[in-house]
Chains A and B, each alone.
Chain A
């Protein structure tokens, strides 16, 4: 077609040249050039039209796609979430009589009250502070002996992308001792802590300090970390100035294919020169002042944790299995004094060795139902110069090996709400207890990612 137009244009130009009777040859050439110019302009226009036509669809489709997304979320507000946790508990034995013979227990190591009660109501706020830091705070409201207590569970800052796999955390945080310790109670698979956590940490180890972790640039997950803290919280305690405890941990982890993943952790916690760590009061009926054991000396805890998870095709929402095992071992050396005793004040040397483990399996067989089974076992071997004082401090295991079997069934109504029924066959002390919990855990607001 272009050729025809060209020929027409040229012949028109020639025709013009012959009919107009140009004065000179130059005039003829000028006219020919004008004709050529017109012709080329026409062709270019045609090509442009074709191009436009070809891209019409594309342009149409892309028109509505040309505005980049804007986020509705106000990024200047921190993520806020509220955890509501309530339960109904039924025990055969009086929960006041609960004890773990042979274990030097912290102030909060009971099993809670019977009947209706609210558990830990947690308010969590977190956000990236700026490019360099992330901050998080958790406040827990809980009732102890009829009094409402506000606990600051976590309040820390953490570096973001310090580089080379390094992260520094400062403030109050859950220690990376063990596996379960760093998880919030609402994320636990059972309504109560494993016996060993209750026995040596008073449920969870938290302290004010500094943590540093390093992740190696390896294909397998390898994390090394250390913490130093002031040591004012159980199982350290008493008066402290400066650094009271330190922790070191190493974690390995990886996948086996798409469906299996695992993590293995080793950790060690140590407090030297604890002076005057008070244990849970050991009430002696009627007396005005309670005799409380107080420990001074060194304490060391070592732990091993192993977690394995499986989900078909790597889709845990549909179905998943989680196996978990943790082992703890605590060694203590020093003296135990019974406060408010005597005169003369009761005192004994103390060489304590307490250990325990638990193993659990949780199987989510459909997106909305989970069931789990847990077995706990503890053991202790404590020696001292005065067996009577040790016994009074609750450090004589009375020849008993604490054990517990738990089973639970969970109904996951949505990602944000769940209802759990749990049964414990509890042999923490000599008298076997049957415990039943019916518990709800719901979360409101933004729901952040959970750790492995």
Chain B
């Protein structure tokens, strides 16, 4: 079903600013579309995305229906220490997905 694509550099020098790219497959149904018979299709979106670096939140986003399907979000962070990035997506209808990526910092 849902799946994540994460792009985090495997290695970085301490103090480097690294770019993190994330994509979560999700329909992001806006709740404003109607079927051919005129019924409103209920909203089904991801509402929140969080990135933690060794347990500390470094980036968070609130998403709205105006975010395109399969939300793609990129941002930056400073490579401070080796460890793990944890990503979490939360959405309507109890949607919740996580992913993680390791980084080694020299």
The answer to whether A and B assemble together is no
Residue numbers of B with Cβ under 8 A of A are none
